A and B are shown apart, each in its own frame.
Chain A
């Protein structure tokens, strides 16, 4: 049997998700953002919610996320995506709203907006891409940068005395009563990607079922600013990020008895 026999539409097992646009992504080769976008496109199509989903893109490398997934998008100011999403979700309670945010966007300039949106239990999904650095602006320290990690603004490594400690914002968010599902995932291996897709799917299902805020952190790489190859970056992430940002569910009350849950009043 030759290649031509195998390469036949009847034998297709994997292709580019239909909800991704034809635009070539502007991300660096091997950037985690591309994988997360792909999972979002798959989940939105699987759940058949492309006509009622509104994405809110951040300021950060993913500012152009709106160029890649065939849904309505609104672009927010740096850190304000949760407030923008709140406005959309409150005034359109039957729509599915999600924010897509980096660690600088979500855990530094937008800390107030994310904590309060989660604490109010806004009915939305948050996709939090934590690459431990400010990718877009050229690799400065992020709130999530590890101690000792070299960045453009911590050339000798992050020093707690000078720069403060890395912020585990997902742990804070898991404590807020408004969140129903809080999880930390990654996209560095086929298995982790499949798991991450399940988590994103569960988060969107929770939004469809109006269960408050669901929050998916994706521990990610920024090979460009980490100054490593994409393959090396994944290894560095496993060795250095995972011990501090441990993957796994932090909270799951999506199965909780609806009677015990206070739904958002509009």
Chain B
């Protein structure tokens, strides 16, 4: 029954795959309005991702523009084995990484000062946590979401982007290593340092409101 209904829907409206084939065919043919269509359809999502990676709107807009220019130039080489958005997103990530490498290194925070602390007996120095709240609890508190977003942007560029691509966007270590031309071991070390630094930046936010 479900399958018949699905086929029925496809006959009426076309399948998502058909839609994508049609869009790509229109783009290759240079059909009027087709390109503007994908700007309207995916532009906001791409702009959000670029802003999250780069931390500021002007750089993000520049990379989104660069992404669309490359899509325009290379659409005939789009094979269709990936989803159109994923293909565009990958182009955007490369544009953002290139931008990040080109701009002045964000040295405002040194990662070393944000690594875990140990005493002379190699014993960890950790704040006193009466309890560890849940992420939902944290995000329900006023202003916390903004503080969490500010924390990720205060990380040095390459650390933030490795964390973003692996932990948030779900790329695996090998893929991220390839993007950064680093070994998988180096990516793992940086990922751990980035997470560790983020934890230290956020400690006061998390501890706020916990009974000591």
Q: Do A and B bind each other?
A: no
